[in-house]
Structure 1
Amino acid sequence: MSDVAQLAGVSHQTVSRVLNDHPNVRAETRARVVAAIEQLGYRRNTAARALVTRRTGAIGVVTEDSPLYGPTMTLIALENAARSGGMYVSVATVTRWDVPTVRASLEHYLDQGVDGVVVIASHDEAVRAVQAFSARVPVVMVGPAELDGDIPTVAVNQYAGARLATRHLLDLGHTDVLHVSGPSVWLDARSRERGWRDTMQQAGLQPRAPVPGDWTASTGFRIGTQLVARDRAGEERLPTAVFAANDQLALGLLHAFAESGVRVPHDVSVVGYDDVEGAAHFFPPLTTVTPDFVQLGRRCLDQLVAAMAREPAEPALVPAALTVRASTGPPRR
């Protein structure tokens, strides 16, 4: 900073003001300082700054080693929000959610001196692992709607999103809406199933038992093929609508129905969840629930900043909207 000040012909304090975007610096002076910084290739000494401020500006993120759309979009949204706030993100992925694995990741971040840690996981084992860790750094969990104890949480309102999807199908006239669920150990999957079931029952309808699945298109394809086979064998009638727990399951269902000659939405309507990239170009384009991932990232950062300042924070629920496309229509029977 002294070299920059000397080259620009200003004081050390003026350089500091420019670096911190202080408003009380003349435009001409600011331009000279910026030119000197570029000429000298000056970079802040973050280690020295951390000694003074007791903050590194770094956030640790623990997430699953998985291509699932929701966690990936949450990570991107959080990184964008952190960068806008002058912080940066360090990411650690885990292959399994258990206490030793999560503890190792959190201990790693303690060694790195991060200001806080975000754990992106809507999974029972992840919750147990985080709760078992006595953190010496603020921790926020993304996924659970709320937790017992002092761990702040941020989540998409999965229950409300599922109700939107189911209500859309009921409003079209469907009374036989099947749910293909996600894995039962995932909080998101249970919330989506509960939203579907409650909406059906509140409409005076007793739904079929949900078909258990995972998050993959291959499972959706297998389930769709089985549904058609049972219908044609006279064992169980094909539902007029299916609400799938995510878009990949819905994609597999669409594939199975197309191969079997079942027309969507003429014979059966299909709704997904997540609004993945390309969902508008499925065949037919998929009606799906669209979470607000941008707001999710911002609320997560807000929760972490509050935790770093030792301020109380209520659990944050982020809304989801329904995006209606061509995969849903009125029942024909």
Structure 2
Amino acid sequence: MRRRAEGSSGSGTPRSVDVARLAGVSQKTVSRVFNDEQYVSADVRRRVLEAAGSLGYRRNNAARALASGRTRSIGVVTLGTALFGPASLLMGVERAVRDNGYALRVVNTMEGEAAGVAGAVDSLLDQGVDGIVISEPIDEENGAALSARVDAPVLVLGAPPPFAASRVLTAGIVSGQMARAATEHLLELGHATVHHLAGPQRWYSARDRLDGWRSALAAHGRAEPPVVEGDWSAASGYAAGRQLAADGGLTAVFAANDDMAIGLIRALTEAGRRVPEDVSVVGFDDIPVAAYTTPPLTTMRQPFDTMAQDGLKLLVHAIENPRADPLPMTDPPVELVVRASSSAPPEPRKPPSSPLT
């Protein structure tokens, strides 16, 4: 049972005036603290939050929405998938939305769904969200575009905007830079060229990684081997590995995600091609198991939380300052995690010497 603190109002539910009285501040100061406004000292903020905690006070977001004309909610359009990348980004967005004091509303799209992103955005707008995050990684086959007027600001993560609107923000588009860094790592180790195990090309990120690999090879004047395409799964990486293992000149592969890299390594090992002594492999994502494979996988670490936090900062600023210029966008870090699956290429085999006569 929660006891009402001494000095609180007669109502069973604590109010901001009760918090103000207990903290020894004005009701306006309580409002400033909970709105995360400037010009509140650290000591006053601490006293207000401690008073609110002791009273069990929660701000009335419904009343706040009526007063401000906003619902304090952000909608997210995301692909309904358990794949590591989209799922991790969604978790990062959820944390960032909560950290900014907003409620989250999610609409999942399914691959090949007719309504797609357009229908998901319409659904969120009908719910009155203040802003929308589109974390949808796949092109729609039907080419549907959002042509209707979208009044709420929209943040698009990791892909080009699917429609034109007055306030569209983008963040987190660094897959190409990361793919280039992965390829250059292998070239700097001394490999003559690098093969690529690509993701499905309907995915924006798969195309970005393919472009980054190509740009690295072109910049170094290296030959571009034929691309092998998988579907993000370890099984498709295994199938690609059985195909690539037959190439006697193969010494390095950049895989577009870690799951395919793991399947690839399994197939190469079964074919008698050692990793990294014969073939170096670099993945992408840094999934939790990547550090514990045999050998531990060199990979590009995706900064999902940073992408989500930076993107939500842009979106919340656009929501709360509709007439202000957008905040400048910063690129997330590009981080290569070097482990034991990449090394210098094997020494060329010398032909057997002629027997003495």
TM-score (norm 1): 0.86
Matched residue, 1:200 = 217
| Partner deviation per Cα, 1:98-153 (whole Å, 9 max, x = no partner) | 56233332222223221111010232229954543432322111122567744221
Structure 2 residue corresponding to 1:239, chosen from 250, 261, 265: 250
Q: Which residue of 2 aligns with 1:125?
A: 140
Is the aligned partner of 1:49 residue 2:64?
A: yes
Q: Which residue of 2 aligns with 1:327?
A: 341
Verify the 8 A CA contact 1:172 1:331 in the aligned structure 2. Answer: yes
Q: Secondary structure at the match of 2:172?
A: strand
Letter in 2 for 1:270: V
1:61 CA drift (Å): 0.7
Q: Distance in 2 between matches of 1:294 and 1:126?
A: 30
Shift of 1:60: 0.7
The structure with the greater share of residues assigned to helix is: 1
147-156 or 211-220, larger mean C-alpha shift: 147-156
CA contact (8 A) 1:192 1:245 kept: yes
Structure 2: any 5+ residue segments left out of the alignment? 1-7, 35-39, 349-357
Alignment partners' CA distance in 2, 1:174 and 1:28: 61
Q: Secondary structure at the match of 2:310?
A: helix
Q: Which residue of 2 aligns with 1:265?
A: 276
- Cα separation, partners in 2 of 1:265 and 1:122, compared to 1, 3 Å: same
Give the unaligned 5+ runs of structure 1: none
1:103 aligns to what?
118
Deviations 1:26-67 (A, max 9, x none): 9778755543x33xxx54332222100112221111101111
Q: 1:31 to 1:50 in 2, by over 3 A?
A: same
Alpha-carbon contact 1:147-1:153 (below 8 Å) kept: no
Q: 1:47 to 1:8 in 2, by over 3 A?
A: closer
- Listed as ranges, the matches of 1:182-221 within 5 Å are 182-221=199-238
Which residue in the other structure is 1:21 paired with? Answer: 33
Letter in 1 for 2:69: R
Structure 1 residue matching 2:21: 3-state secondary structure: coil
| 8 Å Cα contact 2:201-2:207 kept in structure 1 | yes
- Structure 1 contact 78–301 (Cα < 8 Å) conserved: yes
Alignment length (residue pairs): 323
Establish whether residue 302 from structure 1 lines up as the match of residue 302 from structure 2. Answer: no
Aligned-residue offset at 1:157: 1.0
Superposition deviation, residue 259 in structure 1: 2.4
**8 Å Cα contact 1:178-1:239 kept in structure 2:** yes
The Cα shift of 1:260 comes to 2.4
Identical columns (%):
37
Q: Is the 8 A contact 1:103 1:133 kept in 2?
A: no
What is the Cα deviation at residue 301 of structure 1?
A: 0.6
Structure 2 counterpart of 1:65, one-letter code: G
Q: Which moved more, 1:5-14 or 1:151-160?
A: 5-14
Q: Which residue of 1 aligns with 2:190?
A: 173
Query: Against the structure 1 CA distance between its residues 204 and 107, is the aligned structure 2 distance closer, same or farther, given a 3 Å change threshold?
Result: closer
Question: 2:199 touches 2:257 (CA, 8 Å); kept in 1?
Answer: yes
Following TM superposition, by how much is the alpha carbon of 1:254 offset from its aligned partner in structure 2, in angstroms? Answer: 1.2
Calculate the aligned-residue CA RMSD, in Å.
3.0
- Change beyond 3 A, Cα 1:123–1:18: same
Contact 2:299 2:337 in 1 (8 A): yes
> Partners in 2 of 1:323 and 1:33 — Cα distance?
44
| Pairs within 5 Å for 1:68-79 | 68-79=83-94
8 Å CA contact 2:20–2:30 kept in 1: the answer is: no
CA distance in 2, matches of 1:216, 1:324: 22
Q: Which secondary structure does the structure 2 equivalent of 1:318 belong to?
A: coil
Give 1:192 deviation, angstroms. Answer: 1.0
1:255 aligns with 2:270: no
Name the larger-Rg structure.
2
Partner residue, 1:158: 175
- How far 1:285 moved relative to its partner? 0.5
3-state DSSP class of the match of 1:70?
A: helix
Normalised by the length of structure 2, the TM-score is 0.80
**CA 1:46/1:251 → structure 2, altered by over 3 Å: closer, same or farther?**
same
1:81 aligns with 2:96: yes
Counterpart-to-counterpart distance in 2, 1:330 and 1:306: 47
